[in-house]
Amino acid sequence: MARILVIDDVPAFTALLRMTLETQGHHVEEVHDGLSGLSMLEREPFDLAIVDMMMPGLDGIELIRRLRARDASASPTIIAPAIVAPAIIAMSGGTDDFPAAFSLNLSAMHGADRVLYKPFDTSELTVAVNELLAARAA
| Residues β-bridged to residue 48 | 4, 87
Report the number of distinct structural domains present in the chain. Answer: 1
Query: Strand locations in the chain, DSSP E?
Result: 3-7, 27-31, 48-52, 87-92, 114-117
**CATH number of the CATH domain containing 7:** 3.40.50.2300
Contact 18, 6 (CB under 8 A): yes
Q: Give tens-digit pLDDT for 34-43.
A: 999 999 998 9
Q: Mean pLDDT check: name the lowest of 16-30, 70-84, 122-136.
A: 70-84
- Tens-place pLDDT, residues 48-97: 999 999 998 999 999 999 999 887 776 555 444 556 789 999 999 988 77
Please choose, from the candidates 55, 56, 49, the residue with its C-alpha nearest in 3D space to the C-alpha of residue 29.
49
CB 107 within 8 A of CB 53: yes
Residue ranges making up the domain that contains 74? 3-137
Alpha-carbon distance of 46 to 116, in angstroms, equals: 19
Per DSSP (E only), the strands in 18-113 are 27-31, 48-52, 87-92
C-alpha span between 29 and 42 (Å, rounded): 14
Q: To which H or E segment does residue 67 belong? A: helix 60-73
